[in-house]
């Protein structure tokens, strides 16, 4: 197997240690050619113009495969026939200042936009993939009218499926969070245990591919209508919850609300609009599943039981913060889709709503989860969130209501 020299390590963690990349990036440029390719492959040498590696958190599994001798470290993907199955963009938002800072809007167009550079041997890789799928959702069997196009005879829902790996433009990220770029870089470096020294030693590199989870989009309806002002848009922005979404755990409303979002989005697509589900990998409010389960134990074992009154307090006691999702980056994906208004938004989250509106995306109708879809043990979460600012058609629960809302004991599982 051909590989890198095993006894030689080249550090590129200081400006001037190597020749500057010939591919200078101009983030927010109106065309891919003017913006320039993002070159983040580890074997790219001096052409490399980004910090991190492709694949997000999966880049570490790639490293294991190379270490075990199962993968050639200089292997390059054959991108033949991998191009998007439908066209997405470009839309004006792609070059509007500050609109998109957490993904590469041209990431799905690599084989076409940078054909010349690829032919020259430059290793440029897509950070977005666009394909098609059919969704089989047991709860929705018989609930949606079969039309042969969006809902098939078997009850499956036809969708365009898009995977997006995060690509951070650090100056834009810093501006979005209202912090100095130098402070952001240093904090990212320190809080990842010094994993990426280039964050603090290479200010000339403005793009970072963080080792975090990706985003998946499911689109229902005619995607060629994206970006058109008259197109009716509806859907849900959903943050990952493996326990509920996949395994049906009833301590929260995540799967019921996700399924309801799919149903409503598909139904609106059948009426001529476009429905969407945006699924963000932010398990346990981006605190992780271990922290999430520790919080579950703390909630269930506290004096007085699992009360809605102490729902957020118990999370902060364990994690140090109530919520680490910080939805400021979430609207980027909607800008990438060319969306300026969501006509029906299947979400009660005040954080998501406010982040979208702040980003210039108007919200029409807000659709709460139907009461009959809320599991009994999830009422603790729901009532606590309503009291904290979640959208609700009725009155928010009082402090006394929260004390009376108690979930099952740990011994009752």
Annotated active-site positions, please? Answer: 323, 325
Closest listed residue to residue 207, CA positions, set 63, 107, 278, 89: 107
* Sequence-separated (6 or more) residues with CB below 8 Å from residue 41: 48, 53, 54, 76, 123, 124, 125
CA distances from 2 to 72, 74, 125, 155, 379 (A): 7, 8, 21, 49, 58
* Nearest residue to 212 via CA among 162, 278, 128, 281: 281
CB of 373 closer than 8 Å to CB of 245:
no
CA atoms within 13 A on the CB side of 202: 26
Q: What angle do CA 226, 154, 86 make, to 5 degrees?
A: 25
**Percent helix, strand, coil in the chain (nearest 5)?**
35, 15, 50
3-state secondary structure 74-143: CCCCCCCCCCCCCCCCCCHHHHCCCCCCCCCCCCCCHHHHCHHHHHCCCCCCCCEEEEEEEECCHHHCCC
């Amino acid at each position: 197997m051909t590989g890198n020299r095993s006894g030689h390590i080249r550090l590129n963690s200081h400006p001037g240690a190597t020749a500057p990349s010939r591919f200078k990036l101009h983030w927010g440029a109106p065309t891919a050619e003017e913006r320039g390719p993002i070159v983040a492959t580890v074997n790219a040498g001096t052409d490399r113009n980004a910090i991190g590696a492709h694949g997000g958190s999966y880049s570490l599994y790639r490293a294991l495969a190379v270490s075990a001798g199962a993968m050639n470290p200089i292997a390059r993907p054959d991108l033949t026939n991998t191009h998007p199955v439908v066209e997405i963009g470009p839309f004006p938002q792609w070059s509007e200042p500050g609109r998109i800072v957490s993904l590469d809007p041209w990431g799905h167009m690599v084989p076409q936009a940078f054909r010349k550079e690829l032919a020259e041997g430059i290793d440029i890789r897509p950070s977005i993939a666009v394909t098609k799928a059919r969704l089989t959702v047991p709860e929705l069997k018989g609930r949606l009218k079969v039309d042969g196009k969006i809902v098939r005879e078997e009850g499956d829902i036809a969708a365009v499926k898009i995977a997006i790996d995060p690509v951070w433009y650090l100056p834009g990220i810093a501006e979005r969070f209202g912090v100095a770029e130098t402070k952001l870089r240093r904090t990212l470096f320190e809080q990842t245990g010094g994993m990426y020294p280039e964050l603090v030693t290479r200010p000339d590199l403005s793009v970072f591919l963080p080792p975090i989870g990706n985003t998946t989009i499911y689109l229902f309806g005619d995607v060629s209508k994206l970006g058109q002002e008259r197109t009716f848009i509806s859907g849900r922005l959903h943050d990952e919850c493996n326990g509920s979404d996949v395994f049906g755990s009833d301590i929260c409303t995540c799967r019921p609300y996700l399924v309801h979002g799919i149903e409503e989005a598909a139904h609106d697509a059948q009426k001529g609009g476009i429905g969407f589900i945006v699924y963000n990998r932010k398990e346990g409010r981006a605190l992780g599943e271990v922290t999430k389960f520790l919080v579950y134990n703390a909630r269930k074992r506290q004096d007085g039981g699992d009360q809605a009154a102490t729902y957020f307090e118990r999370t902060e006691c364990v994690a140090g913060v109530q919520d680490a999702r910080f939805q400021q980056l979430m609207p980027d994906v909607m800008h990438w889709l060319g969306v300026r208004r969501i006509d029906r938004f299947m979400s009660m989250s005040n954080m998501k709503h406010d982040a979208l509106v702040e980003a210039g995306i108007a919200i029409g109708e807000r659709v709460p989860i139907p009461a009959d879809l809320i599991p009994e043990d999830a009422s603790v979460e729901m009532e606590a969130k309503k009291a904290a600012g979640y959208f609700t058609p009725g009155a928010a629960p009082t402090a006394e209501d929260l004390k009376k809302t108690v979930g099952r004991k740990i011994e009752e599982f």
